[in-house]
Structure 1
Amino acid sequence: MDGLAGATGVHGPAGAGSPAAPPARRPDERACVLVLAGVDPSGGAGIAADLQAVAGQGAHALTVVTALTAQDNDRVYHVQPVDSAMVLRQAEVLAAKIAIAAVKIGITGSAANAQALAGLITRLRARQPDLPVVLDPVLASGHGDLLSRDDAVLALAPLLPLVTVLTPNGPEARALSGEDAPAAQARVLRARGCQHVLITGGHDDGEQVVNRWYGPEREQQWRWPRLPGGFHGSGCTLAASIAGLLAQQVPMAVALERAQLYCHHALEASYPIADGQRIPLR
């Protein structure tokens, strides 16, 4: 399983101080996930995938755009990061009014954005220490097209100590850790602050996809039948599903399994929009 136009009427410095605490969530309000990701015009990955996957778990996505992209269902041709002050402004306006139950991060677009998001999460955690943060460390597209203006591995460094669940595929885990074996990869990543690491096996060979969870007190593997073809936005779907479940206080082991099941079903029912990667039916 693998520029932005200025907003009219929005003034004041971004990132100054902690966001004002919003009112407590009412019983009839949906749990909200603050999603920070890029826009994929094909609708297969990024913000579009996250929004659908979060909704599929019964939660609501608050979508903050970190980057604009030019891409189709196979290739990424250009990435334009949104200015970090605007990224923060989007998030702070939401957090000032709406209770944030979880955070999901996809591509940051730039090192400056990653640093700004790390500061934002630190401020949110000051009022909500147990806020779950799920990071899908997307370094490149399935074809190897880069998704950050900077060195993506170095850009993610300030975020890793804040991560509740990291969901790298095999190549991403190798790039982030410098290790080849999944257990060693997870050990390095957990030492850098990630509480839980779920390494997915979609890029491996074999008839089964093996996903490996490494947590503080538990390790577990899941095996899923390998589906034919390629899929656009599978990693976004999995990570956003986990965030949507954690936002509703689903226990970690249950959230990881349910999110994988949801993602597998979405890939199994995927549909084409052109030649190339299929779109998961979320």
Structure 2
Amino acid sequence: MSTPTPTTDGADEALQEQSAPACVMSFNASDPSGAGGLAGDVSTIAAMGAHALPIVTSIVMRDTAEVFDHHALDADVMVEQARSVLEDVTIAAWKVGFLGSAEGVGAVAEILSDYPDVPLVAYMPNLSWLEEDAQQAYLEAFRELVLPQTEVLVGSHQTLTDFLLPDWDSERPASPRELAVAAGEHGTRFVLVTSVVLPSGKKGSDQFLDNVLASPQGAITGEKFERFDAAFVGAGDTLSAALAALLASGAELHAAVGEALTFLDEALDAGFRPGMGNVVPDRFFWALPPAEEGEDGGATPGDEPAADDPPKGPRHVH
């Protein structure tokens, strides 16, 4: 009978630390459709190999088509959730989504300020469904309290224009750099602008939308997406959560943005419609069984792609 090799507590702790995934704390709403909010954040962060620490900020009443109502949690409840975990777990990145109310923004901002070295990815969703007074109070609080602590602000071109440049009246759309300058005035280092419509003069421009990481000095990197025929819900939460998880795992920003955009594109390409509304990104597209030989999108024997070619496959929504 062999004698087990003794181990020390220190060795056990070192092994656990070595094998543990990076932890990302996400502040977001509970979304019962599973399309976005905390459900989307948790699945995305897990798909990227990190561990999610979900903090509920509000409960949204919605389906896959639209938002009907929401109930913001008391700020003290939000703080207690987060502080309880932060006293126990070391985090490597923040993801901020919808914080429920202006009071919720203030409570979360105070927590963020205690960890200035942890990178923050903030997502600004379309909040047109909120009552006007509540929406304006929320946006003002977000500008003053969250943007100064934000590493990367993520949002669609239209939403970020409305948020950062509300008085923009030019017929020309604001550029990603101009949005980055506006965000930079509040302390944000970078913006990741999605769904940028390309100039109509370019051949085939109407088939693609641009996605650009920019700083006040100019555009840094980005990817063009082919337009989908379907409407999606949860895309912004997916992109921002993926980026936060990659930064938490130690990726450089330039590379992390490219990988997060590729992940989103493939998740949308594999999207599915669970109900009668919009399409939900499939964050676990990579776990789907491979296509059978001879099916659409399957590889042809002897047809080897170049190493730097993008993955090929038809757009599909199942």
User: TM exceeds 0.5?
Assistant: yes
Which of 162, 172, 179 lines up with 2:149 in the alignment?
162
Whole-angstrom distance in 1 between the partners of 2:147 and 2:121: 10
Structure 2 residue runs without a partner (length 5+): 1-12, 199-204, 284-318
Q: Could you tell which deviates more after superposition, 82-91 or 196-205?
A: 196-205
Please state whether the residue corresponding to 1:227 is helix, strand or coil.
Answer: coil
* Cross-structure match for 1:274: 275
* Cross-structure match for 2:178: 184
Question: Percentage identity across aligned positions?
Answer: 27
Shift of 1:221: 3.1
Tell whether the 8 Å contact from 2:121 to 2:153 is kept in structure 1 after alignment: yes
Q: Which has the higher contact order (CA 8 A, sep 6+)?
A: 1
CA deviation string 1:78-117 (max 9, x = no partner): 1110100110110001100001110000001100110111
Whole-angstrom distance in 1 between the partners of 2:131 and 2:266: 27
The residue correspondences of 1:39-188 to structure 2 (distance < 5 A) are 39-125=30-116, 129=117, 131-140=118-127, 144-146=128-130, 149-151=134-136, 152-157=138-143, 158-178=145-165, 179=168, 180-182=173-175, 183-188=177-182
RMSD: 2.0
Whole-angstrom distance in 2 between the partners of 1:150 and 1:238: 23
The residue correspondences of 1:235-274 to structure 2 (distance < 5 A) are 235-274=236-275
Whole-angstrom distance in 1 between the partners of 2:197 and 2:142: 21
Whole-angstrom distance in 1 between the partners of 2:151 and 2:273: 33
Tell whether the 8 Å contact from 1:139 to 1:146 is kept in structure 2 after alignment: no
Shift of 1:139: 3.5
* Cross-structure match for 2:312: none
Could you say which structure has the larger radius of gyration?
2
- Give runs of ≥4 in structure 1 deviating > 3 Å: 147-150, 202-205
Do the aligned partners of residues 262 and 147 (structure 1) sit closer, same or farther apart at CA in structure 2, a change above 3 Å counting?
Answer: farther
* Cross-structure match for 1:18: none
Amino acid at match of 1:155: A
Shift of 1:206: 2.2
Whole-angstrom distance in 1 between the partners of 2:179 and 2:213: 11
Q: Could you tell which deviates more after superposition, 97-106 or 179-188?
A: 179-188
TM-score by length of 2: 0.75
Structure 1 residue runs without a partner (length 5+): 1-22
* Cross-structure match for 2:193: 199
Whole-angstrom distance in 1 between the partners of 2:65 and 2:78: 26
Tell whether the 8 Å contact from 2:197 to 2:210 is kept in structure 1 after alignment: no
Aligned residues: 253
Shift of 1:215: 2.8
Whole-angstrom distance in 1 between the partners of 2:131 and 2:155: 15
Q: Could you tell which deviates more after superposition, 222-231 or 33-42?
A: 222-231
